Structure 1
Amino acid sequence: MALSPRTETDTLEDLLVEVRMFSAEFPLLLANHLPMILVALDRLGASKERLRDYFDTYRDTNGLVPQPPPVAPISRESWTEALGDRAREQDYRTFFEAEVRRIGIDAAIQTYLPTLIPGIGASALHGMMRTAYGVMRMDPSEVGTALGYWSATYLTMPRATGAAPVTDDPGQVLARACELSCLREVEPETDLLWHNIRAAGEKESFAPVVDWLAIGPDTGRRLAETSLALFAATMDFSSLHALTGSHWIRMIGPHLAEADRPALQRYFWQIIASLVPKIGFPSLPSAEQLDQWRHLPAPGWPEIAAAAIQSDDEHDISLVFSAREEEAVYGDRLYRVVAARRMGLIS
């Protein structure tokens, strides 16, 4: 693929158009974070020059590749038949970009996302991430691309059965998952995050986990709170996706019909529970420990954002942006502490 010439007038929108030329994954089966990170950088205050520099560095370092060639058109009548087939990425993206143009962002999400939610582990939650960033900007092209990405990488996991939940505490779900002997025997095909998720989902005794959490009006806040505690305790790559994922489901939820929002929370937390072996069977810290960390000296968001803008690590930028956005909603200073720690600004 020919490189685009650098210009001094590249805008975020220009770069997003350019990045859609590439596949949503790059070898071997890694999520292409570039479109989402460009948005995060822009919102953190990066200059247009920094956006272009980041684009070029990410593209070249990761060896981004074009979409696979089209196979056959996807139709509205049979669109689910190729879910999870990465060879159909371009077909799915073409279909959903047309659907979003036809009926609009919210109607497309309400029509198709309830079917996709049980496969939320798609590309290790990054189909959901791209959807969240698309709706954050109400960008029809990005939402269509994201729904196509989610479809082509759909990850089959155990389905909810409607069995009675066992707790309304997301932390208790993780604690119970840590006690499952089957998760001590998980052997993923590779160390890819979504391979770890899939390997856990294939264990028969993991299947009930998806029904464990009682969903209520306060579940979104409790998921965010537990994800923050988990990341603060571990500073782990996998638990980072719990914190950022809580942000993403908060972004997507209002665009779904109210009846479909609990499934988004339920299946998201199933994925986080599947990762407890990868995280190291963690224990959540006490309220006292969390409060101690919460009051550690930490720089303000402008300094943290400036450090993230200079980083070439997509997970630094993703974490800092999501943590800043979540603190603005929930008011918990611990978000600032963990972001500063991630950026090496405090120990």
Structure 2
Amino acid sequence: MTHVQAHTFALAPWLELNLRQFPLEYGDQLSSHLPMALHALHSLGADEARMAAFFNSYGRRFEGMAAPSPAAPPQDWLSLWGDWSAYSALRCYFDLALAAEGRDVLLRRVLPELLPGVSAVAFHGAIRLAHALEGGHIGELAAALAYWASRWQQLPAPLVHSGVEPLSLSAWSERLVASASTWRSEAPLIFLRMMEASARPVFAELVWAAPSPAPTLLARVAELASLALGYYLHSANFTVLHMITGLRAVRVLGPWLPQDAQFQASAQAVLTQAFVAAYLAGRVQRREAPVDQLGLSWPALAKQASLSDDDHTIKLVHACQEEWAVYGDARYLQAAAFALR
């Protein structure tokens, strides 16, 4: 992590309190951002009083709701993936597996199974897991794995190849942006719109026209991250925001994914499909991008974000700061300022 201020308090107690008190979703299948935002706030330099204020404010979303009760672990966790009612059993499974195998061994075993469902609940399974890894809290790590597994959902790949030749990255991006204006979904949740998009001919055409695989998954992640950043600067779109944070999550998880060529290529295909579906689902309205970078600095943006009550803004500014440290793209400064405007 970058530009992290020294703290005299730990993040872990806040994550533990969240796990004891609150469920993983609220409202109509809305993912709780509380543990992710707590980690982002801590990384951005929020003090303990600010953490407490945010925790108490966000906690009101769960009024009348309780944290899930424990349940017996399954013999085979894969038999329960995609089964939301099995979250507690899966949480117990991952608690025990982490204790028995350790973090790295477990992640290398289960991430290849989870990654094909990266689009589940609008990327929040992967996003929560990435924050849990960086936050270093073992209980939150188990909860994030169980959440992703219980909400696991894979986009259907196009069945028939259209014969379209792969485009260059820039040409493909232009076609994606143009094609998105020809279809619109009114479904209320991002992942529902993504599923609708994946059934449309325009989805198949864009998937088959996607650029040839990059040398590695993380190279393709970098390419898609650059595109998503540009899309956000031209739209401030809510779904594109999740594309940025979702791609950051895959980058964070990269070291625990198989490095063999076959997996790397198949993972790129999955990620490309999710990227196309998300952009189509975004109902993006493009406009001129902000161009002024003068006077922008990460310390000032981090301080402003740490005072925000908007969980999505907090997470995006944190993601932009982290991605800037990796890629060195100054547009991340613009995107963070854009989110805070």
TM range (shorter): 0.7 to 0.9
Superimposed CA distance per residue, residues 228-282 of structure 1 (whole angstroms, 9 cap, x where no aligned partner): 1111111111111122222111111012121344544442332231133443356
Q: 1:98 and 1:159, CA in 2 relative to 1: closer, same or farther beyond 3 A?
A: farther
What CA RMSD, in Å, does the superposition of the two structures yield over aligned residues?
2.9
Q: Contact 1:119/1:156 (CA < 8 Å) preserved in 2?
A: yes
Q: 1:216 and 1:255, CA in 2 relative to 1: closer, same or farther beyond 3 A?
A: same
Which one of the candidate residues 82, 87, 90 is aligned to 1:89? 87
Structure 2 counterpart of 1:273: 276
SS in 1 for 2:121: coil
Structure 2 counterpart of 1:239: 240
2:257 maps to a residue whose letter is L
2:249 maps to a residue whose letter is W
Structure 2 counterpart of 1:296: 293
Q: 1:321 and 1:312, CA in 2 relative to 1: closer, same or farther beyond 3 A?
A: same
Bigger RCO (CA 8 Å, 6+ sep): 2
Superimposed CA distance per residue, residues 137-178 of structure 1 (whole angstroms, 9 cap, x where no aligned partner): 444322221111001111231148897972452x54454445
Q: 1:270 and 1:197, CA in 2 relative to 1: closer, same or farther beyond 3 A?
A: same
Structure 1 counterpart of 2:128: 130
Q: 1:175 and 1:204, CA in 2 relative to 1: closer, same or farther beyond 3 A?
A: same
SS in 2 for 1:258: coil
TM-score (norm 2): 0.84
1:136 maps to a residue whose letter is E
Distance 1:83 1:204 in 2: 28
Q: 1:221 and 1:205, CA in 2 relative to 1: closer, same or farther beyond 3 A?
A: closer
- The Cα of 1:40 is off from its aligned counterpart by 0.7
Distance 2:339 2:64 in 1: 26
Structure 1 counterpart of 2:36: 36
Q: 1:64 and 1:109, CA in 2 relative to 1: closer, same or farther beyond 3 A?
A: farther
Q: 1:181 and 1:244, CA in 2 relative to 1: closer, same or farther beyond 3 A?
A: closer
Q: 1:185 and 1:311, CA in 2 relative to 1: closer, same or farther beyond 3 A?
A: closer
TM-score (norm 1): 0.83
Q: Contact 1:235/1:342 (CA < 8 Å) preserved in 2?
A: yes
Q: 1:88 and 1:42, CA in 2 relative to 1: closer, same or farther beyond 3 A?
A: same
- Structure 2 gap segments, 5+ residues each: 1-7
Which one of the candidate residues 296, 304, 326 is aligned to 1:329? 326
Distance 1:266 1:64 in 2: 42
Distance 1:168 1:141 in 2: 43
Paired residues, what number?
325
Distance 1:182 1:327 in 2: 30
Q: 1:70 and 1:87, CA in 2 relative to 1: closer, same or farther beyond 3 A?
A: farther
- The Cα of 1:181 is off from its aligned counterpart by 8.7
Which one of the candidate residues 203, 206, 219 is aligned to 2:203? 206
Q: Contact 2:240/2:282 (CA < 8 Å) preserved in 1?
A: yes
Q: Contact 1:173/1:273 (CA < 8 Å) preserved in 2?
A: no
Structure 1 counterpart of 2:3: none
1:48 maps to a residue whose letter is E
Q: Contact 2:237/2:284 (CA < 8 Å) preserved in 1?
A: no
1:193 maps to a residue whose letter is I
1:32 maps to a residue whose letter is S
Structure 2 counterpart of 1:224: 225
Q: 1:227 and 1:20, CA in 2 relative to 1: closer, same or farther beyond 3 A?
A: same
- Structure 1 gap segments, 5+ residues each: 1-8
Distance 2:225 2:330 in 1: 13
Distance 2:285 2:270 in 1: 20
2:296 maps to a residue whose letter is P
Distance 2:252 2:16 in 1: 22
Structure 1 counterpart of 2:4: none
Q: Contact 1:131/1:146 (CA < 8 Å) preserved in 2?
A: yes
Structure 1 counterpart of 2:305: 308
SS in 2 for 1:234: coil
Q: Contact 1:158/1:207 (CA < 8 Å) preserved in 2?
A: no
Which one of the candidate residues 213, 218, 234 is aligned to 1:215? 213
Does 2:126 align with 1:107?
Answer: no
